A = this chain, B = another copy of it.
Amino acid sequence: MAKEVKVLGAWPSPFVMRPRIALQLKSVDYEFIEETMQPKSELLLKSNPVHKKIPVLFHNDKPVCESLIIVEYIDEAFSSAPSILPSDPYDRAIQRFWAAYLDEKWFPTFRGVAMAPNEQGKAAGFEQVREGLSLLEDAFDKCSKGKPFFSGDKVGYLDIAFGSYLGWVRVSEKMNNIELISKEKTPNLHAWAERFCADDAVKNYMPETEKLMGFAKMLMAKHQAAASS
């Protein structure tokens, strides 16, 4: 029998990890449909005609797009415990604020530096990335209220939003021989990142650093070939 829930995506995408972790938290069984993007599938073009991006969640064949919107949808449509967003409206607003900051400010800066083909400006770029991490270090303090995750005792919305980038952070640290989330400067985030990656809802979806690095190198070579052709 066809599954009620499907996720269209690809393993290296941080955005695709988000609905997968959310579904795992909710114990929802689903089918994963691999999208190769070469070229983009008919299913992707049809179900997300505006952005043509993964992930797409299908629930009884109805598509939902945009990873953070999907995570909220999963939380609302599968109301079984645990909740992914906090119950308090103010806590929800704060988590939404930082998730939006990550997607709209921090990650675009990070990606820009990480994918830059040459060293020029990289140091300044990584400094900006670190400034963002220092804001998130403070946010962890306020959100977690002394508990192991942004969301308290369990992985929740902001943990998923931020944690999905950790694979790429590790690749970038390794490729550039730097530390971004360091024990010294961002001890909260450093310890949280280890807990997040080891969490039962996460560990099956967090890509191995070596494998993701291979993919990153392939991607960068492609970008450079496209830029010089």
Contact = CB atoms under 8 A, between A and B. Distances in A.
A135 interface: yes
A76 B89 contact: yes
Contacts of A226: none
A92 interface: yes
Nearest to A87: B76
A66 interface: yes
Interface residues of A, number: 23
Given A89-B77, A92-B76, A97 B135 contact: no
Which one of A59, A77, A93 has the highest number of Cβ atoms from chain B below 10 Å of its Cβ? A93
A89 B26 CA distance: 16
Copies in the complex: 2
A100 B50 contact: no
Interface in A9-33: none
B64 A101 contact: no
Interface in A127-144: 135
Contacts of A92: 72-73, 76
Contacts of A73: 89-90, 92-93
A90 B59 contact: yes
A64 B93 contact: yes
Contacts of A105: 50
A89 B79 CA distance: 10
Interface of A: 50, 59, 62, 64-66, 69-70, 72-73, 76-77, 89-90, 92-93, 96-97, 100-101, 104-105, 135
12 contacts: A50-B101, A50-B105, A64-B90, A65-B97, A66-B100, A69-B96, A69-B97, A69-B100, A76-B92, A77-B89, A77-B90, A104-B104
